[in-house]
Amino acid sequence: MKMSRLLAPTLREAPAEAEIASHKLLLRAGFIRKSTAGVYTYLPLGWRVIRKIEQITREEMNAAGGQEIMMPVIQPAELWQTTGRWELYGPEMFRLRDRHGRDFCLGPTHEEIITELVKGDVRSYKQLPLRLYQIQNKYRDERRPRFGLMRGREFIMMDLYSFDRSPAEARESYDRMYAAYEAIFRRCGLVFRAVEADAGAIGGSGGTHEFMALTDAGEAEVVFCPDCAYAANTEKAECAPPPALGAPSPSAPPPSLLATPGARTIEEVAALLALPPARLLKTLIYKGDGQYLAVVVRGDRTANEVKINNLLGPFLDLRLAEEDEVTALLACAPGSVGPVGLPAGARLAVDSEAAVPLPFVCGANQPDAHWRDVTPGRDFPLTLTADLRLAQAGEPCPRCGAPLRGARGIEVGQVFNLGQKYSEALAARFLNEAGKSLPFYMGCYGIGVSRTMAAVAEQYGDGDGIVWPLAIAPYHCVLIPANVKDEAVMTAAAALQAELEKAGVETVLDDRAERVGVKFKDADLIGFPLRLVISAQTLAQKTAELKLRRTGAIEFIPLTETVARIRLIMEGN
């Protein structure tokens, strides 16, 4: 490939909308261009990276017994209505109607379609296990499409579905996929960790893990134990229950009203009363499917919407109530809400740490006032008490008690052991060895292919550009002739490029009539792992200059040995 022909429109500045490094770099280096919010075109360099990630994925899926298929993007509503997900998927689903008035969606995922397919064509345990996958665009009308490819509304996913005859064999499929995912992300160069996760709208009974690419730019928070294997998304991580404290003391003083003018946040009230936030209760009003819920956590903790949704829902659209909704409900602002004297019939759920019989300070459901000496169970009911908070670094590991550590991550893949949720709903059954008809035991497994490209760019970006790992770099090597007007240099460069290509080294010849400095900047920005320079000086010494993008190390190699040296570097990777 010649640089003068390659559509790689590099930009000096990142467009203002790009917030995180990978988004900026992929735009600046000419890998992607935005079409509309969350929808992108992959330019030639970007598409080459995608194809390489796809290829690695394909190889590992095939090695793990997968067979590649391609399912439709357009899916009929009826299948989704049968499993209940037409409603449950909510506003994230792109819906459309045909000319006859029939409803469809653009596939956000394919459990329904594949279960229906297998139901029609697989009858016997002899055909199992069956593992089918595809690599395809998925469509989700995300509430906040952002960070470029990280959270798109159209994105590329590899999704595999497994069908087994028993829970034990389904577990085997799960374990094989888990290992294959580790291999894929390792080959892509990612630093990652698999964590226990929540199953969300996919559901299922058998457990699920997310694969997190670790980076501070990640939207997800994880905790992991330095001493045992425990690692979980903070949404899922179990919080150890507080120590048992027995009944409240009968001599504990009754609640009394305190004036707290202008103090609205936990921090403001804590500062005013000179109390640690852990002595306060935070009461949040949520709205789910038109109902209001009050949730109480300790002042120093964060409510966990996933746990709230799992305990009290599932809701189609759980969210914090708006200020005007809270005011209409309780005649005070959200900062003054408390659990004492809520309207009869209000649903109140209390986190286990906020349910201990100790005196707390909480909002009084009136402006500029708080209660002190409120004792949970005595002054407000504990009809619903559960683990409802986000785990934090420093808390005891729920398995071994060691203090947990925290990290941020980008979810690049997730594996689910589904049990019979979809096969039961869609009556997809097979005959087992005893002639008994059973719903298939299923698993589903997704990798965000386009998100993986962004995650690698995030982890491998430096001040100058992207430092692509060789395995997924758009090209392995850029070859820069120092002076395109020097015929001897150009002839040697063309000969070297031909030789490199023949040896499987994908090479771009930067034949543009640009200054060498500009070419060097573009080479760093695009992130070719290897950079060769040929000049009149190197030719005089019969050498080429080789620079490794990752380390910056430069060496001069005899021209006759250049290809062999590069092959050696590539094989060492």
Toward ligand ATP, which CB reaches closer, 151 or 531?
Answer: 151
Question: What's the Cα-to-Cα distance from 20 to each of 146, 175, 364, 410, rounded to whole Å?
Answer: 10, 34, 41, 12
Contacts of 422 by beta carbon, 8 Å cutoff, 6+ apart: 83, 111, 112, 115, 428, 442
Tokens of 422: 């979809």
Peptide bond preceding 261 in cis form (omega within 30 of 0): no
CA torsion 376→378→381→384, rounded to 10°? 50
Site for Mg ion in 390-419 (CB under 5 A): 414
Q: Does the footprint of ligand ATP cover residue 224 (CB under 6 A)?
A: no
- Binding part of the chain for ligand ATP, among 318-326, 405-413, 420-428, 551-559 by CB under 6 A, reads 405-413
Indicate the residue type of 473.
Answer: A
Among 446, 474, 527, 529, binds ligand ATP (CB under 6 A): 446
The site string for ligand ATP over 412-441 (x = CB under 6 A, - otherwise) reads xxx---------------------------
Query: 558-561, long-range: CB within 8 Å, 24+ apart, which pairs?
Result: 559/492, 559/496
Among 448, 469, 481, 529, binds ligand ATP (CB under 6 A): 448
> Which residue's CB comes closest to Mg ion?
414
Contact 326, 333 (CB under 8 A): yes
Cα(258)–Cα(340) distance, rounded to whole angstroms? 14
Toward Mg ion, which CB reaches closer, 219 or 368?
Answer: 219
Bridge partner list, 442: 163, 419
User: Please, what is the minimum distance in Å from the beta carbon of residue 526 to ligand ATP?
Assistant: 23
Q: Does the footprint of Mg ion cover residue 233 (CB under 5 A)?
A: no
Which one of Mg ion, ligand ATP, none interacts with residue 451, CB within 5 to 8 A by kind? ligand ATP
Site for ligand ATP in 145-164 (CB under 6 A): 151-152, 155, 157
Contacts of 278 by beta carbon, 8 Å cutoff, 6+ apart: 298, 299, 300
Q: Does the footprint of ligand ATP cover residue 142 (CB under 6 A)?
A: yes
Distance of CA 14 to the CA centre of its chain: 24
- Binding part of the chain for ligand ATP, among 181-189, 238-246, 278-286, 408-416 by CB under 6 A, reads 408-416
Q: Which of 195, 163, 230 is nearest to 418 (CA)?
A: 163
Q: Does the footprint of ligand ATP cover residue 31 (CB under 6 A)?
A: no
Among 28, 451, 476, 549, binds ligand ATP (CB under 6 A): 451
User: Please, what is the minimum distance in Å from the beta carbon of residue 58 to ligand ATP?
Assistant: 16
Toward ligand ATP, which CB reaches closer, 157 or 563?
Answer: 157
- Binding part of the chain for ligand ATP, among 44-52, 331-339, 447-455, 516-524 by CB under 6 A, reads 447-455
Q: How many CA atoms lie within 13 A of 176 on its CB side?
A: 22
User: Please, what is the minimum distance in Å from the beta carbon of residue 186 to ligand ATP?
Assistant: 16
Toward Mg ion, which CB reaches closer, 173 or 414?
Answer: 414
Cα(207)–Cα(362) distance, rounded to whole angstroms? 37
Toward Mg ion, which CB reaches closer, 197 or 297?
Answer: 197
In the chain, the largest separation of any two C-alpha atoms, in whole Å, equals 97
Cα(152)–Cα(310) distance, rounded to whole angstroms? 26
Over the range 312-321, which residues count as b (16 or more CB within 10 Å of their CB) and which as e? bbebeebeeb
Toward ligand ATP, which CB reaches closer, 60 or 411?
Answer: 411
Toward Mg ion, which CB reaches closer, 410 or 428?
Answer: 410
Q: Does the footprint of ligand ATP cover residue 109 (CB under 6 A)?
A: yes
Q: Does the footprint of ligand ATP cover residue 505 (CB under 6 A)?
A: no
Tokens of 538: 């190197």
Phi, psi for residue 101 in degrees, rounded to 5: 85, 10
Among 24, 28, 131, 140, binds ligand ATP (CB under 6 A): 140
Quick check: helix, strand or coil at residue 420? Answer: coil
Q: Does the footprint of ligand ATP cover residue 46 (CB under 6 A)?
A: no
Tokens of 559: 């021209």
Quick check: helix, strand or coil at residue 360? Answer: strand
Q: How many residues bind ligand ATP (CB under 6 A)?
A: 16
Which one of Mg ion, ligand ATP, none interacts with residue 109, CB within 5 to 8 A by kind? ligand ATP
Cα(168)–Cα(301) distance, rounded to whole angstroms? 39
Which one of Mg ion, ligand ATP, none interacts with residue 140, CB within 5 to 8 A by kind? ligand ATP
Rg of the chain on CA atoms, in Å: 29
> Which residue's CB comes closest to ligand ATP?
448
Q: How many residues bind Mg ion (CB under 5 A)?
A: 1
User: Please, what is the minimum distance in Å from the beta carbon of residue 447 to Mg ion?
Assistant: 10
Indicate the residue type of 262.
Answer: G
Among 411, 510, 511, 524, binds ligand ATP (CB under 6 A): 411
Q: Where does this chain bind ligand ATP (CB under 6 A)?
A: 109, 140, 142, 151-152, 155, 157, 200, 411-414, 446, 448, 450-451
